[in-house]
Structure 1
Amino acid sequence: MNKDVMKRVIREIKECDVIVIGAGSGISTSAGLTYSGERFQKYFSDFINKYHFSDMYSAGFYPYETLEEFWAYWSRYIYYNRYIQAPKDTYYLLYQLIKDKDYFVLTTNVDHQFQKAGFDKKRLFYTQGDYGLWQCSKPCHQKTYDNEDIVKLMVSQQSHMKIPTSLIPYCPQCGLPMQMNLRSDETFVQDEGWYQAQLRYETFINKHQNHHIVYLELGVGNNTPVIIKYPFWYYTQNNKKASYICINNYDIDCPLEIRDQSLLIKEDIHEVLQKIGENL
């Protein structure tokens, strides 16, 4: 990031009234929450040796023969991506930059790292679910369930890639197996908390749509651009006092209509946040 871009980023953050953060998987990758390579080998060597998996994500879709083995894999997956600190303090660096601003976070991430870093949970909208929640696999009702205690038991008590049968989670209403509260198909449960967060986000956007606002996009790819990327472009185009800042190792772009209002930074998010914090 050259000095001129740095100066513009710092000026926008200092002078803006409001910051809306749109975060995708790239920020968690930058924070060290990688799903392949050394980290995958460290926590899942037994599953890799048996099934020759290449990464955590694809292994989550494998048709395990038993629920005992399925939950042995998924409890570890949840634990190491939801209940422990990220290897790097990327989210904390971000929080230090915006904590004194009027902010809101829209994210497709499901790893809870924003709250771990100190972000106010009432200023967060997790659109795609949460590793920390389960739901009925049918689903027979629109409710989710915290899984922290049972996941930690599963991790501590599993043996030979299986959890005890007594720990398999079942729906308290219909008795079918529970599943992750992750948006992958039409069974995804949007519970009361989801709708409350959606309302808070929409209210925030409507309240500040004409203010001096920064739309800060971090690590958002092109898998689901309609959730963060396209709306940020639209909001920026319709507010001449708005700025669009995109930081990503890969996908950085914007329409010509907002080019003069945009700062596109193709670098590692963690390193950029460090530089901004050192110069802010």
Structure 2
Amino acid sequence: MFSKIQMTTSTKNYSDSIKRLKQEIKNADAVLVGAGAGLSTSAGYTYDKERFDRYFSDFKRKYGITDMYTGGFYPFETLEEYWAWWSRQIYCNRYDQPQNEVYQTLRKLLQTKDFFVITTNVDHMFQINGFDKKRLFYTQGDYGLWQCAKACHQKTYDNEETVRKMIAKQHNMKIPSKLIPYCPICGAPMTMNLRCDDSFVQDHGWYEASQRYKDFIRKYQNMHILYLELGVGGNTPVIIKYPFWKMTAQNKKAVYACVNLEEIIYPKEIEKQSICINGDICKVLHDLHN
């Protein structure tokens, strides 16, 4: 499709771009939101610095780990320590979160529209903030779910009750051995339902959400649809960014909007259909709502 992609950095006036995007949200037949890590970062859910130290200062002292992302790949020697780490990461990013202004503002912006959200985020913030589950597709998993580490069957398991016990009972960076979760089918250890390799379990709920996403795209593929990309970086562009570009190019009524603090790019082929705003998502959403 984009054999000679020319990436362009947006230089348009901020206020003009806000006006145009506000008008598109108002007039579009539907809005498809693509949400990446930058959205939650803008909402304050960072994986490093003060927030990391608040939950993981002991792991930082012992192992030199400085952020939650890299810590998730650390080869802990025991499952007791592995689950002490992961129970904290799950808890602080999934269960210990109130509703948030950034997500609430986005929900208000979309409340009169037919919309759908596809996201690579796994923190459940959309549902915490009152978004209808049937309008959401979590492509990369959910902190609130476990699966068999061997993926011996395609089912996931809610983990809240056990995670809260792990948080309450861990000591010296270890949980009690009796709380270690094992697969009820094959007996292998459980692991996070987060996409990191081909063992990721796509359960019944995942496929249902995927189908609703496809149905939404099919319904509006030839209509005035706004593809609203929020905080999507370059790690997994094939999930949101590239499909949004392609669908915009295939539909002259479509508009592609990108809001990001850093990566503001788009193909030259859809320049006239694009609105790109270089700024903090929190501020941009606030300006769009007012």
**Residue 212 (structure 2) pairs with residue 200 (structure 1):** yes
Deviations 1:187-241 (A, max 9, x none): 1000111111111100110011111110000000111111100110111111111
1:56 counterpart (64, 68, 83): 68
**Residue 203 (structure 2) pairs with residue 191 (structure 1):** yes
Corresponding residue number in structure 1 for 2:230: 218
Q: Which runs of 5+ in 2 are unaligned?
A: 1-12
Q: Does the aligned pair in 2 maintain the 1:32–1:87 contact within 8 Å?
A: no
TM-score where L is the length of structure 1: 0.97
Cα distance in 2 for residues equivalent to 1:18 and 1:191: 28
2:50 counterpart (38, 44, 50): 38
1:48-197 → structure 2 map (5 Å cutoff): 48-85=60-97, 88-197=100-209
Corresponding residue number in structure 2 for 1:274: 286
The code of the aligned residue for 2:237 comes to P
Q: Which has the higher contact order (CA 8 A, sep 6+)?
A: 2
For the structure 1 residues 256 and 127, does the alpha-carbon distance in structure 2 shift closer, same or farther, using more than 3 Å as the test?
same
Q: For 1:188, what is the secondary structure of its paired residue?
A: coil
Let me know the Cα RMSD of the aligned residues.
1.1
Deviation at 1:272, TM superposition (A): 0.6
Corresponding residue number in structure 1 for 2:239: 227
Corresponding residue number in structure 2 for 1:209: 221
Deviations 1:4-53 (A, max 9, x none): 11210111011111000001111011111100000000111111111111
Cα distance in 2 for residues equivalent to 1:125 and 1:147: 20
Cα distance in 2 for residues equivalent to 1:100 and 1:153: 41
Cα distance in 2 for residues equivalent to 1:140 and 1:209: 37
1:256 counterpart (268, 276, 282): 268
Cα distance in 2 for residues equivalent to 1:67 and 1:249: 38
Q: For 1:34, what is the secondary structure of its paired residue?
A: coil
**Residue 23 (structure 2) pairs with residue 16 (structure 1):** no
Q: Does the aligned pair in 2 maintain the 1:31–1:86 contact within 8 Å?
A: no
Q: Does the aligned pair in 2 maintain the 1:31–1:87 contact within 8 Å?
A: no
The code of the aligned residue for 2:167 comes to V
Deviation at 1:3, TM superposition (A): 2.2
Deviations 1:147-204 (A, max 9, x none): 0111111111111111111110000111110000010011100011111111110011
Deviations 1:69-122 (A, max 9, x none): 100000000000111226842111111100221000011110100111111101
Cα distance in 2 for residues equivalent to 1:10 and 1:201: 24
Percent same amino acid at aligned positions? 62
The code of the aligned residue for 1:144 comes to T
